[in-house]
Structure 1
Amino acid sequence: MKNQNKMSLTKRVLVGMGLGILVGFVIRSLFADVAFVQDYIVNGVFYVGGKVFIATLKMLVVPLIFVSLVCGTSSLKDLSTLGRLGGKTLSFYMLTTAIAITLAILMANLFEPGVGVDLAQATSFSTKDAPSLGDVIINMFPTNPISSMAEGNILQIIIFSILFGIAISVSGPEGERIASLFYDFNKVIMKLVVMLMNIAPYGVFFLMAKLFSDIGLEAIFNLINYFLVLSATLLLHALVTYSLFFKALTGLNPITFFKKMETAITFAFSTASSNATIPVTLETATKRLGVNNKVASFTVPLGATINMDGTAIMQGVATVFIAQAFNIHLSLSDYGAVILTATLASVGTAGVPGVGLIMLAMVLNQVGLPVEGIAMILGVDRLLDMIRTAVNITGDSVITCIVAKSEGEMDIDVFNDPSAGASEESVQLGTTKK
């Protein structure tokens, strides 16, 4: 009875988020000029609490990817399966990204958010150059895997983990002993994920309170049309495109999928970081959605690195918005170049800091639009980034389920069980199960 009355993790996180937003607005409205509140509450407790929460999530990313992917790869008896997994996963990621940016361009041209906006006074904006395709391929392979882990280079970690897992799978009895050790490590790390998930309501509260005590509604009102069109397109892609893909290619109920994704989506929205959400996304895919770890350990980290549907939608809407604001006409060939550039850039700029802005600058340069226009949308980009991240990890999980179902590596009973994985959301300290 006690467990039945206990509020679920998702509800507790949503409560923390709601309270954080409310407290943030109250502080901005009533205590914006109170030095004590700003110095010790907003930039003290809220800032430190939020940063610590993000740090604890990121702390798990590298060991989780390495151990989980080694476990998954080493369990593959037929190495051709790995090639199939990679081909399917990459193809679906590229396809959904292309659909996302096409939808964004259509929505932006339909609702014209940039018409009547004056960007003549746009401030200067600069971003790092994107690496060439050759450099991207070269940089995927680590020269020092320990350094790659220290730097959090996800693509290099994935490559090394796959090679290490393959070596284990072909090493006979010695490999089996090493694999057994990694399976134990994986269980311990997943338990650590659960432990940290239980402090999430407090971390989310700190993040939301800090964000909304800094963001003024005037920033949104100044770009209300851009904000609404981009938000609507993100939601449309998440709820319609993904649902159609999911139903058509798995035959499963997309409503069940979204219900089970609630916690991961909430984490992604709060942290605005696909990488920081990897532990929660992976735990949700395996425990709640029924995907075998050998698939999820590959598709989820790869998706967090290269699958950026939400970012692609931002690029599509922002490109049309900036063109309309500067009264620059884009031809059909220009739109084709935008779709192609953004789709390829989602892979080509993987792992680069500030990837969204780098990708957008690439797209603008490709069609001859002023990069300075980016400066005008930065005021609302932090809030929109939260929605984009939620869309990104939802796409990762949809493709994960599709690939797993096609490979026969998805437990349908777990997927259809509404309570599957619920017992994993809490951990009892100081007790021993017999």
Structure 2
Amino acid sequence: MLIGFVVGLSAGLFVHMVFPDARWVDNIITYVTGPVGQIFLRLLFMLVIPLLFSALVVGIAEMGDIRSLRRVGVKTLVYTIAISSVAVIIALASVNLLQPGAGVDPALAQTLLADAREGAGAIVSSAEGKPAGISSFLNIIPSNVVAAAADNDILAVMFFALVFGVGLLLVNTPSAQRLQETIEGIFQVTMRLIGLVIRLAPFAIAAFMFNLASVFGWELLVRLGAYVGVVLLALGLHMIVAYSIVLRFLGGVSPLWFFRNSQEAMVMAFATASSNATLPTALRVAEEKLLLPSRISRFVLTIGATANQNGTAIFEGVTVLFLAQFFGVELTLGQQVIVLLMCILGGIGTAGVPAGSLPVVALILGMVGVPPEGIGLVLGVDRLLDMCRTTLNVTGDLTAAVVVSRGEQESVPEDVDAGEVRRV
């Protein structure tokens, strides 16, 4: 991806400086680089509905696999939604305050935006004409889930998936178990296909960056640096401030003690950029370093690898608003609230693998009227950001395990460990 980013950016900057108004550049964008990017996006959109539906249904349904842990499952779900909301609020506040995507020439941005919408066809759904106020809220509940999926109404599909998952949680029969296994099979197949599609990402990124750099020139690099800074700032605030407060007042432990004993899992998350790949290490850290009860830590961390993705929610929120600012798409407060909800639910349904949030971000962009092609602007630096947000995701899972463990029959030990906590 980094090679594709550099190749596309270099070629685009060269064309921007040497052939600023050449006709053949427009032809290349129209007939070569544009279609390459569209193929990549269409393949992602083809798979995003079954991916998010199956991930959400299985994630919710698995909370009731063991009857004795249902109460733990409810606590985990409530905590996940609450802390994810805090994460997205931090992200939206950071972007609105610092405006990393502002300052681009409005004429160029609108020209590129119009071209992108025309090339994307039915994929890019404009926010214009969509119901507002109470009608927008009611539309979250689909009257026809098939029609909602056909219209790429992802929020309605996610709502149906949450309700369906709760239904599987309540129905404890062999048939329901087989249905859950079938949906889990759909998730596995979809993830495998997305893994194949991601292999095309370097070519798509090169095409996207050529299109953007040939129009915006060096201004693109300035905006990109500001974007990376805002993402890292929001991730840092959530890690240092939000988690420290949660650990102290809800978990009853010292944040310094927690971070020191969790560092092995955090380093593994940073290196692999995958919550799923870090899960075995996180389980061992929870039981051996944090001394949490295994029955709770295994449940919370397994669910958290898919559901509790605070770093992913922050990344998605910052990315959507940054690209909206970059392309001059003004989002109302109501539309930003919808972005917030989408990022929370998207975090629950995002797979814990490298670049797992890519399909969700692309779809949210299309929903709010921002060209999904713009995602190519951030993919070149996504590997670093992916490593950072995965570190936050895994740290958040361990934080959730500490919070949920408190008050259970087996909790954080009160002997040597507690004494260490007090000393710290």
What's the TM-score once normalised by structure 1's chain length? 0.57
Change (3 A) 1:340 1:414: farther
1: distance between equivalents of 2:366 and 2:385?
Answer: 23
Aligned to 1:237: 238
Cα deviation digits, residues 395-431 of structure 1 (max 9, x gap): 1010100000121422243644769xxxxxxxxxxxx
Q: Residues 418 and 276 from structure 1, CA distance in 2 versus in 1: closer, same or farther, beyond 3 angstroms?
A: farther
SS in 1 for 2:331: coil
- Change in CA separation of 1:238 and 1:82 when aligned onto 2, cut-off 3 Å: same
Equivalents in 1 of 2:378, 2:77: separation in Å?
30
**Kept in 2: contact 1:113–1:321 (CA 8 A):** yes
> Which residue of structure 2 aligns with residue 316 of structure 1?
317
1:356 paired residue number: 357
The CA deviation string for residues 267-293 of structure 1, in whole angstroms up to 9 with x for no partner, is 000000000000001101111001100
C-alpha separation in 2, matches of 1:273 and 1:351: 6
Give how far 1:151 is off. 9.1
Residue 328 in structure 1 maps to residue 315 in structure 2? no
Question: How much does 1:148 deviate?
Answer: 8.8
Check whether the contact 1:89–1:403 (CA below 8 A) recurs between aligned residues: yes
**1:88 match:** 75
Gaps of 5+ in 2: 1-61, 125-148, 170-175, 190-217
- Please, what is the CA RMSD of the aligned residues? 3.7
Separation (CA, whole Å) in 1 of partners of 2:222 and 2:100: 13
Relative distance call for 1:151 and 1:323 in structure 2 (3 A) is: closer
Asked if residue 347 in structure 1 is aligned to residue 348 in structure 2, the reply is: yes
Question: Are 1:288 and 1:415, in contact at CA under 8 Å, matched by a contact in 2?
Answer: no
Residues 249-270 of structure 1: per-residue CA shift (max 9 Å, x gap): 1221111000111111000000
Q: CA deviation at 1:360?
A: 1.5
Partner of 1:257: 258
Relative to structure 1, the CA distance from residue 405 to residue 334 in structure 2 (aligned partners, 3 Å threshold; closer, same or farther) is same
Give the letter for the 1:103 counterpart: I
In the alignment, is the contact (CA less than 8 A) between 2:313 and 2:346 conserved in 1?
A: no
Q: 1:418 to 1:265 in 2, by over 3 A?
A: farther
Q: Distance in 2 between matches of 1:244 and 1:258?
A: 13
Match of 1:276 in 2: 277
C-alpha change, 1:95 and 1:146, in structure 2 (3 Å) is closer
Q: Distance in 1 between matches of 2:69 and 2:93?
A: 36
Amino acid at match of 1:85: V
Aligned to 1:406: 407
Alpha-carbon deviations, 1:348-399, whole Å to 9, x = none? 4557995412221332233222222211111101110000000000110101
Contact 1:101 1:313 in 2 (8 A): yes
Letter of the structure 1 residue corresponding to residue 287 of structure 2: T
State the match for 1:54 in structure 2.
Answer: none
The answer as to whether partners of 1:272 and 1:385 remain within 8 angstroms in 2 is: yes
Which residues in structure 2 correspond to 1:146-295 (within 5 Å)? 153=188, 223-295=224-296
- The equivalent of 1:116 in structure 2 is 103
Q: 2:355, 2:386 within 8 Å by CA — same for their partners in 1?
A: no
What TM-score comes out, normalization by structure 2 length? 0.58
Q: 1:406 to 1:368 in 2, by over 3 A?
A: farther
Indicate if the aligned counterparts of 1:337 and 1:366 stay in contact, CA closer than 8 A.
Answer: no
Q: Could you list the runs of 5+ residues in structure 1 that have no partner in the other structure?
A: 1-68, 155-217, 420-434
Distance 1:349-1:224 versus aligned 2 partners, 3 A rule: closer
Q: Deviations over 1:309-329 (max 9, x none)?
A: 101101111122111111121
Paired-residue identity, %? 35
Do 1:153 and 1:351's aligned partners in 2 also have CA atoms closer than 8 Å?
Answer: no
Aligned equivalents of 2:91 and 2:161: distance in 1?
A: 29
